[in-house]
Amino acid sequence: MSSIIEIQDLTKRYGNLLALDHLTLQVEEGAVVGFIGPNGAGKTTTMRILTTLLQPTSGQAWVGGYEVTREPDRVRQIIGYMPDFFGVYDGMMVWEYLDFFAACYGIAPQVRQGMIGDLLDLVDLGHKRDSFVDELSRGMKQRLCLARTLTHDPQILILDEPASGLDPRARIEMRELLRELKQMGKTIFFSSHILSEVADICTSIAILEAGRLVAYGDMAEMKKQLRAHRLIEVRVLGELAPLQAFLLGVSEVATVLAAPDVDLPPDTLRFDFSGDDVALSQLLSRMVAAQIPVVSYSEVTGDLEDVFLHATQGIVS
Amino acid sequence: MAEVVEEQPRRRNRFLSGLLQNPVTVKELRSRMRGRRAFVVLTVYLTLMGLFITILYGLYSRAALQTYGPDPAQAGKAVYGAVLGVQVMLVVLLGPAFTAAAISGEKERQTYDLLRTTLLPARALVTGKLISALSYVFLLILAALPLQSIAFLLGGVSVVELVVSVLLVLVSAVAFALLGLFFSSLMRSTLGAVVVTFAGSLFLTIGMPAIVLVLLPFTSALFSSGPVQPWVQIALSYGGLSLASTNLPATIILSEVILIEEDALFFWSTTLGGRSVVLFSPWWVYTILYILLSLLLFWLTVRRVSRVPNR
């Protein structure tokens, strides 16, 4: 697969503030990349540079092979951008809103009529066609804005916090919509604060902190990379003491965690294990051979929150 | 040859349809003309204008009944002058008021970024905003034409006067609207853009005559202190006319006076300090100056809109 977005040494300064610090990143065609980081990490700045709305201080960025500062019109042709905060026009109907933006992309009037209906159906706003945009709910406005980004059928969608400020139902609807767009083959580059949402639909994640990329890669790989040890949870019948004593003698075990130090039931403990799957299986056999009454033995898979907390240090939030 | 004849109207049509199909023009006009506001403003404007002209006409009619009272031609001139005065106020105040909020309003409403990421060229955005603002101002001017035409029933206004005044109003409308658009593109807040635009408009229409009034005693003193060199008289005449050519009310009044007194549309000859000199009527100098100003403002606004910001 080829890179559809390429960022090379991108730096942005606002006076003394360094918003982006030599950011280098590649996004492959068809990928869904979750761009996460604390507030002020530089996510919006990156997106504004990619969408030709901001000049970088140094470095370069290419979207679809076009350099963003040299060929902005080519870039605009292939991207659909949804900012984190956006307004709507007063006294304008939903279909007029889409018609206006489609006209701004140079789409012929005869094509626009059919296309508006399709887009409204896609974002489930067909019944609101003749409503005024300023009377729509926040979730509907977000969906309408997403429909707007699709008027010229762009290859790449750059969405800045598409689910911010939405209630749970609207958030689920937005997530479903993004999933549908992913199936349509769009490359989606979006920022979010809601990590569970990112984990749900992303193929890869990029974590930004204080303008620097602190982690980037495939979701599963990222989890592995950022956790050197595997966390294993064991439940036994009766006392934990024999198991604790046994684990202290195992070289691959780093730390053993049990109540009351951590929030676990009295018959369960967790330990950090540095071995591979074979070593993990052999450890279970040794436990059984040592007559430890094991009831359950499983690996605790870290979620995106763990990855995020491991990668960031809370510098800017 | 036939091809050329066919090509010309097609090109003109394409230009006109391009202007009318400009998405920004369509959107703005649709929003502006939707609802009652636009029609209420138009009705109130015409009612007030009608009342004003009726009162003016009534006063002149009563005066005309008296011995040595004004003739109908004077009443016609008064009516025409009154409507022209209102038109001047419209183009100086209303046009810039619409355009001063045009681009800064998009920034405040957070729709500017959405527009800037489309393929709409900066030139089309500026043209669309300009045409939509001017079309409403022109609608108000055109709607007052039946009232203005009363002047022709009474007489006293020539076709040349009409053409010159319409030309001056149209050129000023474009220039003042572009002044508002330029400041709107320059500033982030609409309030700031409106304040600066009105300051600029008022300086061009009221500020200039005020400066002249302040300087007038000095020139009077110069003339009363003794005989003045011919070249000083010529320089003062040209300077005065040039200064007047930058101001709309002064240009209208002076051009009218020169047309009536000197029967001159473009140039006239006079004797200053014993020398024969050719002086000019301000209206055409004003027209050229304001067309150049409009082109400059349009270029600067397009440049400003197409610029990718650093912040």
Q: Report domain extents, chain A.
A: 3-224, 228-301
pTM value > 0.90: no
For residue B110, give both structure tokens: 């957070």
DSSP structure string for A297-314: EEEE---HHHHHHHH---
Helix, strand, coil distribution of chain B in percent, nearest 5: 80, 5, 15
Q: Is B25 among the domain residues?
A: yes
**Which stretches within A5-128 are classed as H helix?**
43-50, 72-78, 94-104, 109-122
| Confidence band of B2 (pLDDT split at 50, 70, 90) | very low
Mutate to test the interface with B, among A20, A53, A89, A164 (most CBs of B within 10 A): A89
Q: Which residues of B touch A92 (CB under 8 A)?
A: 27, 30-31
Determine contact: B23 vs chain A, CB below 8 A: yes
CB atoms < 10 A from the CB of B118, how many? 22
Residue A176 and residue A124: Cα distance in Å, rounded? 11
CA A126 to chain centre: 29
Q: Is B203 among the domain residues?
A: yes
**What is the C-alpha radius of gyration for chain A, rounded to an integer number of angstroms?**
25
Residues B271-283: pLDDT tens digits? Answer: 877 788 888 999 9
**Which stretches within chain A are classed as H helix?**
43-50, 72-78, 94-104, 109-122, 138-149, 168-183, 195-201, 219-226, 241-248, 277-289, 304-311
Q: Is B7 among the domain residues?
A: no
Q: What is the pLDDT of residue B1?
A: 36
- Phi then psi for B230, rounded to 5 degrees? -60, -40
Surface of B (83-112) touching A: CB under 8 A: 109-111
- Phi then psi for B72, rounded to 5 degrees? -60, -30
Q: What is the pLDDT of residue A2?
A: 75
Q: Is the pLDDT of residue B8 over 50?
A: no
Determine contact: A92 vs chain B, CB below 8 A: yes
| Confidence band of B12 (pLDDT split at 50, 70, 90) | low
Q: Is the pLDDT of residue B3 over 50?
A: no
Helical packing angle, A138-149 and A109-122, nearest 10°: 130
Nearest 10 degrees: CA dihedral of B171, B176, B178, B184?
-170
Cβ neighbors of B138 (< 8 A, separation 6 or more) are B173
Q: Is B216 among the domain residues?
A: no
Residue A225 and residue A217: Cα distance in Å, rounded? 9
Q: What is the pLDDT of residue B5?
A: 42
Q: What is the pLDDT of residue B183?
A: 96
Determine contact: B62 vs chain A, CB below 8 A: no
Give exposure, B181-214, as e/b (b: 16+ Cβ within 10 Å): bbbbbbbeebeebbebbbebbeebbeebeeeeee
Determine contact: B36 vs chain A, CB below 8 A: no
Decide if B286 contacts B293 (C-beta within 8 A). no
Q: What is the pLDDT of residue A155?
A: 94
Mutate to test the interface with A, among B117, B127, B308 (most CBs of A within 10 A): B117
| Confidence band of B216 (pLDDT split at 50, 70, 90) | confident
Decide if B27 contacts A92 (C-beta within 8 A). yes
Residues B163-194: pLDDT tens digits? Answer: 899 899 999 999 999 999 999 999 989 999 99
- Between chains, do A87 and B120 touch, taking CB under 8 Å as contact? no
Decide if A48 contacts A62 (C-beta within 8 A). no
Domain A228-301, what fold?
Alpha-Beta Plaits (3.30.70)
| DSSP letter, residue A262 | S
Residues A118-147: pLDDT tens digits? Answer: 999 988 899 999 999 989 988 899 899 999
pLDDT mean across residues, chain B: 85
Decide if B22 contacts B40 (C-beta within 8 A). no
Give exposure, B129-155, as e/b (b: 16+ Cβ within 10 Å): bbbbbbebbbbbbeebeebbebbeebe
Q: Is B105 among the domain residues?
A: yes
- Between chains, do B113 and A14 touch, taking CB under 8 Å as contact? no
Q: Is the pLDDT of residue B155 over 90?
A: no
Q: Is B236 among the domain residues?
A: no
Domain A3-224 homologous superfamily, CATH: P-loop containing nucleotide triphosphate hydrolases (3.40.50.300)
Q: What is the pLDDT of residue A225?
A: 61
Question: A26 forms bridges with which residues in the sheet?
Answer: A6
Diameter of chain A measured on Cα atoms:
79
Mean pLDDT by 10 residues, chain A (317 residues): 88 92 92 88 93 94 94 94 87 93 92 92 91 90 91 94 81 86 92 76 87 84 66 90 90 84 86 86 93 91 66 56
A&B contacts, CB < 8 Å: 77
The residue in chain B having the minimum alpha-carbon distance to the alpha carbon of residue A85 is B110
Determine contact: A88 vs chain B, CB below 8 A: yes
Cα of A69 to nearest chain B Cα, Å: 9
| DSSP letter, residue A93 | B
| Confidence band of B57 (pLDDT split at 50, 70, 90) | confident
The H or E element containing residue A22 is strand A17-28
Determine contact: B31 vs chain A, CB below 8 A: yes
Instruction: Provide mean pLDDT across the span B26-33.
Output: 87
Half-sphere exposure at residue B95, Cβ-oriented, CA atoms within 13 angstroms: 30
Residue that wins the pLDDT comparison between A150 and B155: A150
Q: What is the pLDDT of residue A73?
A: 93
| Confidence band of B7 (pLDDT split at 50, 70, 90) | very low
Q: What is the pLDDT of residue A202?
A: 86
Q: Is B140 among the domain residues?
A: yes
Q: What is the pLDDT of residue B156?
A: 77
Q: Which residues of A touch B113 (CB under 8 A)?
A: 48, 51, 53, 81, 83, 86
Determine contact: A55 vs chain B, CB below 8 A: yes
Domain total for chain B?
A: 1
- Between chains, do A76 and B308 touch, taking CB under 8 Å as contact? no
Residue B194 and residue B199: Cα distance in Å, rounded? 8
Q: Is B231 among the domain residues?
A: no
Residue A251 and residue A248: Cα distance in Å, rounded? 8
Decide if B118 contacts A105 (C-beta within 8 A). yes
For residue A288, give both structure tokens: 């059984």
- Between chains, do B27 and A96 touch, taking CB under 8 Å as contact? yes
Decide if B108 contacts B190 (C-beta within 8 A). yes
Q: What is the pLDDT of residue B31?
A: 85
Determine contact: A172 vs chain B, CB below 8 A: no
Provide the 3-class DSSP secondary structure of residue A64: coil
| Domain hosting residue B41, numbered range | 12-208+284-306
Pick from A17, A12, A35: nearest CA to A213 = A35
Half-sphere exposure at residue B45, Cβ-oriented, CA atoms within 13 angstroms: 21
